[in-house]
């Protein structure tokens, strides 16, 4: 009986997700059903190790923040996919961030944006998911991400 309930729930979620995607909307269930699970990374290139968002609504110094390829690799190893809504509602924005590009063993390439507080966005630049933004968050494992103190 319980197995039938789980199967019915999964079918309902798939139907709702298909409708949401067809309507051009993204709900949390649709997001999780289509999230990216990338293959191993072959290279990471940091294109902008430190950036400051001048439009940030708060005063934040970025003097001790500089993202490295090693930091980016740690971020990707520990980050979890989150919905766009959760990314914007539950994880505070940081004005300090780094940018770069990543290549994977299957040839997929992405551009990324990693903030000093553990938020990040990855966007494939080729393949079937080209242009789709994936929202990530890395918690305690990334507390010292990009921090130049003690490096």
Query: Given pLDDT bands bounded at 50, 70 and 90, which one contains residue 44?
Result: very high
- Is residue 51 located within the same domain as residue 115? yes
The answer as to whether 127 is a domain residue is yes
Residue 150 lies in a domain: no
Using alpha carbons only, how large is the chain's radius of gyration in Å? 17
Query: In terms of domains, do 52 and 113 share one?
Result: yes
Q: How far apart are CA 82 and CA 139, in angstroms?
A: 12
- Judge whether residue 113 has pLDDT over 90: yes
Residue 28 sits in which domain range?
Answer: 2-32
Q: How far apart are the first and last CA of the chain?
A: 56
Q: Specify whether 13 is located in the same domain as 40.
A: no
H or E element at residue 135: strand 134-137
Alpha-helical runs (H) found in the chain: 2-22, 28-33, 69-78, 84-89
Place 17 in a pLDDT band, splitting at 50, 70 and 90. very low
Are 82 and 128 members of one domain?
yes
pTM of the model: 0.72
pLDDT band for 120, please (50, 70, 90 cuts): very high
Residue 147 lies in a domain: no
Q: Are residues 57 and 126 in the same domain?
A: yes
Q: State mean pLDDT over 121-139.
A: 92
Indicate whether 58 and 22 sit together in one domain.
Answer: no
Give the DSSP H/E element, type plus range, for residue 123: strand 119-124
Per-residue pLDDT for 8 more than 60?
no
In the predicted model, what is the mean pLDDT of residues 25-33? 50
- How far apart are the C-alpha atoms of 116 and 111, rounded to whole Å? 17
Q: Are residues 6 and 53 in the same domain?
A: no
């Amino acid at each position: 009986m319980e197995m039938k309930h789980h199967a019915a729930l999964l079918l309902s979620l798939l139907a709702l997700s298909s409708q949401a995607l067809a309507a051009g909307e993204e709900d949390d269930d649709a997001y999780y059903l289509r999230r990216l699970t990338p293959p191993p990374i072959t290279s990471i290139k940091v294109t902008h190790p430190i950036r400051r968002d001048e439009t940030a609504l708060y005063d934040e110094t970025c003097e001790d923040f500089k993202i490295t390829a090693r930091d980016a690799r740690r971020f990707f190893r520990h980050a979890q996919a989150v919905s766009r809504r959760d990314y914007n509602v539950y994880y505070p924005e940081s004005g300090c961030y780094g940018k770069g590009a990543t290549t994977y063993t299957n040839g997929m390439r992405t551009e990324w944006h990693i903030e000093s507080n553990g938020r990040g966005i990855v966007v494939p630049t080729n393949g079937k998911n080209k242009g789709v933004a994936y929202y990530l968050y890395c918690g305690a494992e990334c507390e010292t991400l990009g921090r130049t103190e003690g490096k």
